[in-house]
Amino acid sequence: MEFLELLSPSYFLLAAAGSIIGIIFGAIPGMTATMAVAVCLPLTYTLGLHEGLALLLGLYVGGISGGLVPAILLNIPGTPSSITTTFDGYPMAQRGEAERALKICIVASLFGGFFSAIILFFFAPILADFAIKFSYVEKFLMIFFAMSVIASLSKNILMGVFSGLIGVLLSLIGTYDVSNGGNGEYRLMATWMEPYLAYGFSLLPVLIGLFGISTIIEEAEKGVKENSLENKVNLTKGTPFRFNVFKGQTGNLLRSSSIGTFIGMLPGIGGSAASILSYTQQKNLSKNPEKMGKGAPEGLVASESANNALTGGALIPLLSLGIPGDSTTAVLIGAFTLQGLQVGPLFIGENIDTWYSMVTGLMFANVVMFIAMFYAIRYIAKVVLIPKFILYPIIVMMCAVGAYAINYGIMFDVWTLFLFGVAGWIFGKIGIEVAPLVIGFILGSSAEVYFVKSLESYGEYSILVTKSPIALVLWGLIILSIVLSVIIHRKSKQQATEEAAQ
Q: Smallest distance from the beta carbon of 42 to another protein, in angstroms?
A: 5
Applying CB under 8 A, the residues found at the interface with another protein are 8-10, 13-14, 17, 38-43, 45-47, 51, 129, 132, 135-136, 175, 177-186, 198-199, 267-268, 317, 321-324, 330-331, 333-334, 336-338, 340, 342-347, 350, 407-410, 456-457
Q: How far apart are CA 117 and CA 111, in angstroms?
A: 10
Q: Smallest distance from the beta carbon of 46 to another protein, in angstroms?
A: 5
**Angle subtended by helix axes 49-66 and 352-380, to nearest 10:** 40
Q: How far apart are CA 441 and CA 58, in angstroms?
A: 29
Q: Are 308 and 64 in contact (CB under 8 A)?
A: yes
Nearer Cβ to another protein, position 101 or 321?
321
Nearer Cβ to another protein, position 322 or 387?
322
Q: How far apart are CA 304 and CA 330, in angstroms?
A: 22
Nearer Cβ to another protein, position 212 or 268?
268
Q: How far apart are CA 85 and CA 87, in angstroms?
A: 5
Nearer Cβ to another protein, position 186 or 389?
186
In sequence order, what DSSP letters do the residues of 395-445 get, joined into one string?
Answer: HHHHHHHHHHHHTTS-HHHHHHHHHHHHHHHHHHHHT--HHHHHHHHHHHH
Q: Smallest distance from the beta carbon of 107 to another protein, in angstroms?
A: 29
Which SS3 state, helix, strand or coil, does residue 41 take? coil
Nearer Cβ to another protein, position 223 or 340?
340
Q: How far apart are CA 466 and CA 452, in angstroms?
A: 17
Nearer Cβ to another protein, position 186 or 374?
186
Q: How far apart are CA 359 and CA 107, in angstroms?
A: 20
Q: Smallest distance from the beta carbon of 172 to another protein, in angstroms?
A: 16
Q: Smallest distance from the beta carbon of 9 to another protein, in angstroms?
A: 6
**Angle subtended by helix axes 272-285 and 434-458, to nearest 10:** 110
Count of CB atoms situated within 10 Å of the CB of 226: 9
Q: Smallest distance from the beta carbon of 448 to another protein, in angstroms?
A: 13
Q: Smallest distance from the beta carbon of 344 to another protein, in angstroms?
A: 3
Backbone φ and ψ of 414, nearest 5°:
-70, -40
Q: Among residues 256, 316, 313, 244, which one has the least CA distance to residue 109?
A: 256
Q: Smallest distance from the beta carbon of 36 to another protein, in angstroms?
A: 10
Q: How far apart are CA 20 and CA 210, in angstroms?
A: 28
Nearer Cβ to another protein, position 136 or 144?
136
Count of CB atoms situated within 10 Å of the CB of 129: 12
Q: Smallest distance from the beta carbon of 474 to another protein, in angstroms?
A: 16
Nearer Cβ to another protein, position 47 or 362?
47
Nearer Cβ to another protein, position 61 or 319?
319
The one-character DSSP state at 241 is P
What is the β-pairing status of strands 186-187 and 174-175?
Answer: antiparallel
